Amino acid sequence: MQMELRVGGRFRLGRKIGSGSFGDIYLGLNVQTNEEVAVKLECIKSKHPQLHIEARLYRVMSGGIGIPDVKWCGLEGDYNVMVMELLGPSLEDLFNFCQRKFSLKTVLLLADQMVCKRLLSGFSCYDLPFEKLVKITRVEYIHQRDYIHRDIKPDNFLMGLGKRGNLVYIIDFGLAKKYRDSRSQHIPYRENKNLTGTARYASVNTHRGIEAFATYLRYSRTLGFEDTPDYNHLRQLFRSLFQRQGLRYDYLFDWNLLKTAKRLQQSVVPAIGRTD
175 vs 253, higher pLDDT: 253
Does residue 76 sit in the same domain as residue 93? no
- Out of 151, 155, 172, 254, pick the active-site residue: 151
Phi, psi of 47 (to 5 degrees): -60, -45
* Terminal-to-terminal C-alpha distance of the chain: 49
Domain boundary pick from 58, 85, 112: 85
Convert the pLDDT of each residue in 123-159 to its tens digit: 333 333 444 333 447 878 888 888 888 888 899 999 9
pLDDT at position 264: 67
For residue 151, indicate whether it is catalytic. yes
Strands 70-76 and 168-170: unpaired
In a domain, 266, yes or no: no
For the cut 50, the answer to whether the pLDDT of residue 20 exceeds it is yes
Q: What is the pTM of this model?
A: 0.71
Closest CA to 114 of 148, 87, 86, 153: 153
pLDDT at position 135: 42
Q: Helices marked H in the chain — which ranges?
A: 51-61, 91-97, 104-114, 137-144, 218-222, 231-244, 254-268
242 vs 99, higher pLDDT: 99
Domain of residue 184, residue span: 89-254
pLDDT at position 117: 37
pLDDT at position 175: 81
On average, the pLDDT of the chain sits at 76
Contact indicator for 126, 254 with CB cutoff of 8 Å: no
Cβ neighbors of 231 (< 8 A, separation 6 or more) are 115, 136, 137, 140
Residue 244, Cα to own-chain centre: how many angstroms? 28
In a domain, 1, yes or no: no
40 in a known ligand binding site: yes
> What residues pair up with 7 in beta bridges, in sequence order?
11
pLDDT over 90 percentage in the chain = 32
For residue 274, how many C-alpha atoms fall within 13 Å in the half-sphere facing its CB?
Answer: 7
For residue 137, how many C-alpha atoms fall within 13 Å in the half-sphere facing its CB?
Answer: 21
For the cut 60, the answer to whether the pLDDT of residue 192 exceeds it is no
CATH number at residue 41: 3.30.200.20
Single-letter residue type at 106: T
Does residue 81 sit in the same domain as residue 115? no
Domain boundary pick from 56, 85, 114: 85
Q: What b/e sequence results for 188-206 when a residue is b if at least 16 CB atoms lie within 10 Å of its CB, and e otherwise?
A: eeeeeeeeebeeebbbbeb
Instruction: Tell me the C-alpha distance between 47 and 264, whole Å.
Output: 50
Out of 44-48, 79-83, 170-174, 267-271, least confident range:
267-271
Average pLDDT (200-222) is 45
pLDDT at position 211: 28
pLDDT at position 71: 96
DSSP notation for 51-114 = HHHHHHHHHHHTTSTT-PPEEEEEEETTEEEEEEE----BHHHHHHHTTT---HHHHHHHHHHH
Instruction: Tell me the C-alpha distance between 269 and 206, whole Å.
Output: 51
In a domain, 57, yes or no: yes
pLDDT at position 52: 87
pLDDT at position 118: 34
pLDDT at position 190: 52
For residue 241, how many C-alpha atoms fall within 13 Å in the half-sphere facing its CB?
Answer: 19
Average pLDDT (79-83) is 95
CATH number at residue 196: 1.10.510.10
225 vs 257, higher pLDDT: 257
pLDDT at position 63: 86
Does residue 96 sit in the same domain as residue 65? no
For the cut 60, the answer to whether the pLDDT of residue 274 exceeds it is no
Domain boundary pick from 85, 104, 126: 85
Does residue 197 sit in the same domain as residue 212? yes
Could you give the number of structural domains in the chain? 2
Does residue 247 sit in the same domain as residue 222? yes
In a domain, 4, yes or no: no
Convert the pLDDT of each residue in 82-128 to its tens digit: 999 999 999 999 999 999 999 988 987 887 787 543 333 333 333 33
pLDDT band at 202 (very low <50, low <70, confident <90, very high): low
pLDDT band at 172 (very low <50, low <70, confident <90, very high): confident
